[in-house]
Structure formats: C-alpha cells, structure tokens
Amino acid sequence: MYLDVKNLYANYNPNPDAGKPAFSRNHIMASLWNSAFALLVVTGALLGLTLPFGKMGTDAGVSGMVWAFVVSLGAGGLLLVARLASGRTMTITSRRLRYFVVTATVSYAFPNFLMFTVISHLGAGYTGIMFTLSPIITLVFSILLGVRRPNLLGMAGIVVGFAGAIMVALTRGEAGQPADAFWVVMALLIPVSLAVGNIYRTWDWPDGAGPIELAIGSHLAAATMLLVAILSTQGAGAFTPLAQVPWVVAAQMLSASTMFAFFFRLQAVGGPVYLSQIGYVAAAIGLFSGTLFLGEHYRLLTWAGAVVIVAGVFITTKAQEREGAPKPMAAPQRG
C-alpha cells in the first residue's frame, strides 16, 4: 500500500489546471500522505488493532515475545518484499545500522514484548490506555533535549488527553477485575520506552533516508533480536501455538506492515510530540474492539475518559496546524 501512495505522491500535481480532476484518486492519496491528521488517524487505528490481535494470540498460548516477533517480522518482511518487487533496494551504512538497532530496541522489541505480556492480565482496552501516557513523557523529553515545545494550545491538548487517560486508569482494568499492581507497573514502562523512541528517531534520522527504508531495517533488526531471545530462553517450541491462530497471525502481519508504512511518514510530517498522539487513537480502538469482539467490559468512567482523550487529539491537531513544521534536532556528529 505504501508503494502505491508514494508513487501517486511523486506524480501528484497540485495545480488543478494541469488536467487532473480536483478530487481524483491521486489527489486524495497525496492529501492523505501529506496530512498529519489523516496520518494520525490511520496510524493510530492500525496500532489499535494490534491490541485485540495480540490478546487473541496470547490467549491461544503464544508468548508475548513470540507475538512481538510476529509483528516485527510481518512489518519488516512484507515491506521489504514490496520494496524489492518495485525494483528498489536498501542502502546500508554504519549510521543506518546504528539507527536500526537502537530504534528496534526502544521502539519495537522492548515495548511490544511488554505489551503482549501484560495484555492477557490487563485486557486489550486497559493496555491500550498505556499508549496515551506516551505524549506527556515525550513532551518532557522534548523540553529537556531542545525539541520544539508545543504552544499553549498544544500543551492544553496533551493535558486534556492525559486527563482522559487518568479517568480510564482509575477504573483499573475491566469491570469487576481490578488489575494487579505488578502488571500495571510493567505496563507503565511501555509509554516510557515509546517516548524514548519518539525522540531518538527524530534526533538520529539518517540523512536521505526514506521512511520505508527505516521501517524495514528497524523491524527486521527487532525481529532478529527477538528471534535470538526466543530461541535462547524458550526454544523453537515457543512458535508451536501460532498454528492455532493462523488467520490472526496473517491479519497481524498485514496490519503491522501497513501501519508502519504510515508511522514513519507521520514521524517526518508531525514530529515526535505529535506522533505520540497515535496512542490516544489506539486506546480508543482498543476499548471498542475489546468490548465488541473480545467480551471485555468497562465502566462508564472508562468510556467517558475515551471521549476526553479524543477531544485532546483534536485540540493538539489544531495546535499543530498553527505551529507549523517542527524544529529539527541536532544530529550526532559522524566520524
């Protein structure tokens, strides 16, 4: 899907007099590829689908580490096949390898392992709420490291979204099933790791690198790390339960590859703080999908918090439109 969007964007002519209909498919796809809000909604929704897929997988006996491997292998593998099929190759340099390894660790391998480990204890909806804590942590790191700080409206949006997250967190998981404190603490490490990744990817984005190249390299690096860890700690038998949910595995791989095609584009268009807002969308998707498809039940306060979270997203979006392009971070010196 990404390759089609990219090609359409490359050939897109914004001048309506150039012979293209104003609302042609090219125009729509190009607008999507260049709209921070549209990218936010699409990326967040696809991220949210990872929650019910992950819960179905772990409920079938798949370990959290193995399901994290499925996500990274699916994302990196399918995007690589699509790229090679289009006649394009990967450019590998020492700086890109460093980027792949660090991003794989803090953005994918570690937080995904945590997410798919705690999800069977906390539920898909509750685990999704942890994503909403990423923006405030990203903002703190952004201020400390000199990345552009959101204007007052942007900060208000983050506060509103965070307030919604607190409303949901107070319910402590599904109705009648209060979450164990240990698993809540483990889940809280997810947004911390994601925030570190949000900042790092902006800080060390390799010159001339496209979003799909970085997605492919980072996810394949994460898949490699996870594979080594699985074989070392659990053995090859850890993959056996995957045979119980083949369609869920396929759906997870497809949604992951599609999501990360948009994820890295959103990073470039919106910057790290705006990127972190996908957690709000993902949390809402996790709540709805958990309720409708997984039989999870949440209190009224949980749903009210989800509404407040959505309000925070729209406020932050307005702030992003007013503020313009993010301030670039100083990249590390290359030797």
pLDDT value for 301? 82
Exposure pattern of 50-85 as b/e (b: 16+ CB <10 Å)? bbbbbbbbbeeebbbbbbbbbbbbbbbbbbbebbee
pLDDT in tens, the chain (335 residues): 333 433 333 443 444 444 444 445 566 666 667 788 888 888 888 888 888 899 899 999 999 999 999 999 999 999 899 899 988 888 889 999 999 999 999 999 999 999 999 888 878 877 887 887 777 777 777 767 776 665 788 788 878 877 887 787 677 655 566 667 788 788 889 989 998 998 888 788 888 888 788 889 999 999 999 999 999 999 999 999 999 999 999 999 999 888 877 887 887 787 766 777 787 788 778 877 877 877 777 778 877 877 887 787 678 767 766 665 455 444 444 43
Closest CA to 115 of 225, 214, 221, 193: 193
Q: What is the CB neighbour count within 10 angstroms for residue 323?
A: 18
For residue 19, the SS3 value is coil
pLDDT value for 283? 78
Please give the torsion angle defined by the CA atoms of residues 77, 55, 111 and 305, in that order, rounded to the nearest 10 degrees: 130
pLDDT value for 178? 64
So where are the chain's domains? Answer: 35-323
Cα distances (Å, whole numbers) of residue 22 to 5, 29, 74, 167, 243: 17, 12, 36, 43, 48
pLDDT value for 7? 39
Contact criterion met (CB below 8 Å) for 38 and 32: yes
Q: At what angle do helices 152-169 and 278-293 cross, to 10 degrees?
A: 30
Please give the torsion angle defined by the CA atoms of residues 101, 105, 107 and 113, in that order, rounded to the nearest 10 degrees: 140
